Amino acid sequence: MNRVGTPVAATLALALAATVSFAGTSYGLEPHPNATAASASASLLDSTWGDVKANQDGKATTSTGVWDPKSDLGSMYNLTKSIGAQDAWRMTDAQGQPVTGKGVTVALVDTGIAPVAGLDSAGKVINGPDLSFDGQSDATRYLDAYGHGTHMAGIIAGRDDTVTTGKLNDPTQFVGVAPDAKLLNVRVSSSDGSTDVSQVIAAIDWIVQHRHDNGMNVRVLNLSYGTNSRQSYEVDPLAKAVENAWAAGIVVVAASGNDGASTPLTMPAADPYILAVGSSDNQGTATTADDTLSSFTNTGDASRHSDLLAPGKSIVSLRDPGSYVDVHHPEGLVAGDTSGRLFRGSGTSQAAAVVSGAVALLLQAHPNLSPDQVKALLESSANPMPAESSVARGAGELNIGRALELPTPSAGTVAQTYPTSTGLGALELSRGDTHVVDNATGTVLAGEVDAFGAPWDGARWAAASTLGTAWMGGQWNSTRWSGDTWTSAGWASPCWSSTRWSDAEWSSTRWSSTRWSSTRWSDAAWLSTRWSSTRWSSTRWSDAAWLSTRWSSTRWSSTRWSSTRWSDADWSSTRWSSTRWSDADWSSTRWSSTRWSDADWSSTRWSSTRWSDADWSSTRWSASSWGV
């Protein structure tokens, strides 16, 4: 899968070479010269990897050549100090426990989480469903082959096993903002970054319905994601999904976007109910008094802008070795880091992750706070940033230490009363300008269908999502999205135990050059020419290519996809021989809910005999076939 759409704004490099909108990281590719702020990409608002002119690498390695976290303003040591998290860790909750996020689960809808050091302790990560296009593969399920989600997870709740209680501020250890919070990993992005907005909506629905399952206490949802939706939040289905989560007691934190000044906030940050987070720039000093808005942050306007800012420039978090960003963005490696564990990135993705961790701290200390109360406390306690306009800064810069000291406002005085979203708008408009495309056929995922081609009924979905019944028996939008993911061996199996993620699982043998070879992920597939201004030029993606006549109702009408097209003749026993695909095979009883039981999807049914090497050979599934 891949994505098509307009290039990102000129202030950024290409915002993630895929259909995801994970706010926060651009990748060093030059944007098209004709790109404008209005051409915001609907992607994992992906971060810029590397130093981003902050010269933190140089400052942190000048004396010895070895990276020093105390000298690097982007280190988690300095970040947690600047936002007051280290002050929070010295406080205690009603049970006398240090305020470290304990007892709070943060849901991360992203590219997955890799079980690297700092995220691999027992109970740290719980796997939700893998709703990505890679979710059917045992070898890649839940894992982060891209690198973005792991970076976010480290910021939110990373913690080295060697950290001792009472010494969380040890600069030699990696410690995230809420080091004792749990992470719920809900992967929506495939290994090339491809994600459709319907996958994100499905993920949010699942989180709301299962927020208390399996010992979880999901109170925070991090969305370092955004689309440049073409409709008001008052009808957008993604906005409806996050509002349902908010109403269920989950604080939704979304990145504002990385397309720069005067650009509208991405969806769902555009929804005024949730927490929209922009990035602050420390200006190369340890004091917060001179901090400003990062130039890449979408500012929005007086009617909707970031609610607050948090550090998001040149942030050092955990590296995902062998991932896409790791391989293709060596500039993200931290100079002088002898451990080889760290990676540097910038964006509103990182800023959102910082706030998600801070919310986990606040909710451990005050578990009865409503999302509206959490938002009010963070806004009223923020550092004012007088040099910035109220539109640019929102309430100011995050100060979680101060938020924990303020009295709790009454729920009635801070209740938000904005118009709510109906969710009845078009799924296609929610995608904005960016779409997933099947490179094997050139088919673009567009129109009122979800990621797996099922028709989208906005009214039916909105009603079910509001009631918390959008997922029924492993099905969402009348489609079963994944096989083993829904068994007890998948998400319900608590965590990443050493048994499940043994050394053998992550050895060089498993992730060898054979498995992730240059053939599969070749330079041709990912080099800059593929995502260059030539490929994304106005000539290639001209109005002629995307005009209404090309994608008109005639082209995608019921006539084109009518029963006559997929008639008995097309799918007859001649084409699909009766011995293999008989009427009995495809009858309603065959595809009944009982038919697709755990037994049907067991390793026995999908044995190596059925899917032989010949069936799955590199010839049959070649790069040319899948356009990788």
Question: Which of 404, 437, 457 marks a domain boundary?
Answer: 404
Residue 606 has pLDDT above 50, yes or no: no
Tokens of 507: 């050895």
For residue 439, name the pLDDT band (cuts at 50, 70, 90).
Answer: confident
C-alpha pair distances (Å), 23 with each of 159, 162, 339, 413, 423: 23, 31, 27, 32, 22
Question: Which of 404, 429, 456 marks a domain boundary?
Answer: 404
Beta bridge partners of 46: 24
Residue 29 has pLDDT above 50, yes or no: no
| 232 is a domain residue | yes
Catalytic residue among 46, 57, 110, 120: 110
For residue 184, name the pLDDT band (cuts at 50, 70, 90).
Answer: very high
- pLDDT, average across residues 411-418: 97
| Contact yes or no for 346/279 (Cβ under 8 A) | yes
- Give tens-digit pLDDT for 537-555: 222 333 333 333 333 333 3
- Rounded Cα distance between 109 and 200, Å, is 7
Q: Where are the alpha helices (DSSP H) in 341-480?
A: 348-365, 371-381, 390-393, 400-405, 411-414, 427-431, 458-467
Using the 8-state DSSP alphabet, how is residue 50 labeled? S
| 239 is a domain residue | yes
- Give tens-digit pLDDT for 92-117: 999 999 999 999 999 999 999 999 99
Measured CA angle at 143 (ends 142, 149), to 5 deg: 100
| Contact yes or no for 207/219 (Cβ under 8 A) | no
pLDDT (0 to 100) of residue 416: 98
- Rounded Cα distance between 60 and 41, Å, is 33
C-alpha pair distances (Å), 244 with each of 20, 204, 247, 371, 431: 22, 9, 5, 12, 19
CATH code assigned at 179: 3.40.50.200
- Rounded Cα distance between 581 and 574, Å, is 10
Residue 456 has pLDDT above 90, yes or no: yes
Q: What is the dihedral of CA 179, 185, 191, 192, to 10 degrees?
A: -80
- Rounded Cα distance between 245 and 257, Å, is 21
- Rounded Cα distance between 431 and 236, Å, is 10
pLDDT (0 to 100) of residue 117: 97
- Give tens-digit pLDDT for 241-298: 999 999 999 999 999 999 998 899 999 999 999 999 999 999 999 999 999 999 999 9
Q: HEC string of 548-586? A: CCCCCCCCCCCCCCCCCCCCCCCCCCCCCCCCCCCCCCC
The per-residue DSSP string of 243-309 comes to HHHHHTT-EEEEE--SS-TTPPPPBTTTSTTSEEEEEEE-TT-S-STT-EE-TTS---BTTB--SEE
Query: Burial level of 97, CB count in 10 A (0-12/13-18/19+)?
Result: middle
Tokens of 579: 């011995």
The per-residue DSSP string of 423-434 comes to --S-HHHHHTT-
Catalytic residue among 349, 370, 421, 533: 349
- pLDDT, average across residues 442-466: 95
Using N-to-C axis directions, what is the helix angle for 458-467 and 197-209, rounded to 10°? 30
- φ and ψ of 186, to 5 deg: -120, 100
- Give tens-digit pLDDT for 197-239: 999 999 999 999 999 998 899 999 999 999 999 999 999 999 9
| Contact yes or no for 164/198 (Cβ under 8 A) | no
- pLDDT, average across residues 549-577: 35
| 106 is a domain residue | yes
* % of the chain exceeding 90 in pLDDT: 60
Residue 481 has pLDDT above 90, yes or no: no
- The whole domain housing 566 covers 562-596
Amino acid at the residue 489: A
| Contact yes or no for 436/194 (Cβ under 8 A) | yes
Tokens of 171: 């600069």
Query: Does residue 110 carry a catalytic annotation?
Result: yes
Query: Burial level of 603, CB count in 10 A (0-12/13-18/19+)?
Result: exposed
Longest CA–CA separation in the chain, Å = 76
| Contact yes or no for 364/93 (Cβ under 8 A) | yes
- Rounded Cα distance between 10 and 13, Å, is 7
Picking from 158-167, 425-434, 518-527, which range would have the lowest pLDDT averaged per residue? Answer: 518-527
Most confident stretch, 394-398, 590-594, 608-612: 394-398
| 211 is a domain residue | yes
Question: Which of 404, 438, 464 marks a domain boundary?
Answer: 404
- Rounded Cα distance between 617 and 611, Å, is 10
- Rounded Cα distance between 586 and 495, Å, is 37
Query: Burial level of 410, CB count in 10 A (0-12/13-18/19+)?
Result: exposed
Bigger pLDDT: 123 or 57? 123
pLDDT (0 to 100) of residue 45: 61
Residue 351 has pLDDT above 60, yes or no: yes
Query: Does residue 522 carry a catalytic annotation?
Result: no
Amino acid at the residue 317: S
Picking from 29-33, 34-38, 62-66, 87-91, which range would have the lowest pLDDT averaged per residue? Answer: 29-33
Burial profile 435-462: b = 16 or more Cβ within 10 angstroms, e = fewer: bbbebeeeebbbbebbbbeeebebeebb
| 126 is a domain residue | yes
| Contact yes or no for 81/73 (Cβ under 8 A) | no
pLDDT (0 to 100) of residue 58: 55
Bigger pLDDT: 566 or 180? 180
- Rounded Cα distance between 184 and 130, Å, is 11
In the predicted model, what is the mean pLDDT of the chain?
76
| Contact yes or no for 44/24 (Cβ under 8 A) | yes
- pLDDT, average across residues 482-487: 40
Catalytic residue among 26, 82, 132, 148: 148
pLDDT (0 to 100) of residue 478: 82
Domain count, the chain: 2
| 116 is a domain residue | yes
| 451 is a domain residue | no
pLDDT (0 to 100) of residue 139: 81
| 94 is a domain residue | yes
- Rounded Cα distance between 279 and 347, Å, is 7
* % of the chain exceeding 70 in pLDDT: 67
Residue 517 has pLDDT above 70, yes or no: no
Query: Does residue 148 carry a catalytic annotation?
Result: yes
Strands 251-255 and 182-187: unpaired
- pLDDT, average across residues 385-391: 94
